[in-house]
Amino acid sequence: MAHSENLITTVSTKGQIILPKTIRQRWEWEAGTRLIVEETPEGVLLKQIPAFAPTWPDDVFGMLPFGGEPKTLEEMEAGVLTEARGRHDRDWSDI
């Protein structure tokens, strides 16, 4: 998202800057948004910190305890269908 508009801000005596409202709105940065400040050859880059740290399936696989025999694929599909029927008033017989 490259924009050619030049916006100006000033560094305060406390080292703070105010990002122009148009930038905050464009990036949906509300008060309290945490940003990563990255120094680049061209200047300073601001990036929003992700809400959750990136994870991989191997990082979380098997984290929830389960007792009993493993479910078959058919049993899992039947459970999902039962839950869907309970949440939605629809004829699911065509599925």
Q: What is the mean pLDDT of residues 18-43?
A: 94
Residue 56 lies in a domain: no
Structural domain of residue 8, as residue ranges?
1-51
Task: Give the residue with greater pLDDT, 95 vs 85.
Answer: 85
Q: What is the pTM of this model?
A: 0.50
Residue 65 lies in a domain: no
Positions of E strands within 1-95:
35-40, 43-48
Amino acid at 73: L
Q: What is the mean pLDDT of residues 36-40?
A: 95
Checking if the pLDDT of 32 tops 60, the result is yes
Residue 10 lies in a domain: yes
When the pLDDT of each residue in the chain is averaged and rounded to a whole number, the result is 87
Residue 83 lies in a domain: no
* CATH code of 35's domain: 2.10.260.10
Residue 28 lies in a domain: yes
pLDDT digits (tens, 9 = 90+) for 45-83: 999 998 888 888 888 887 788 788 988 999 999 999 999
User: Is residue 26 a contact partner of residue 7, using CB atoms and an 8 Å limit?
Assistant: no
| Number of domains into which the chain is organized | 1
Checking if the pLDDT of 4 tops 70, the result is no
Amino acid at 13: T
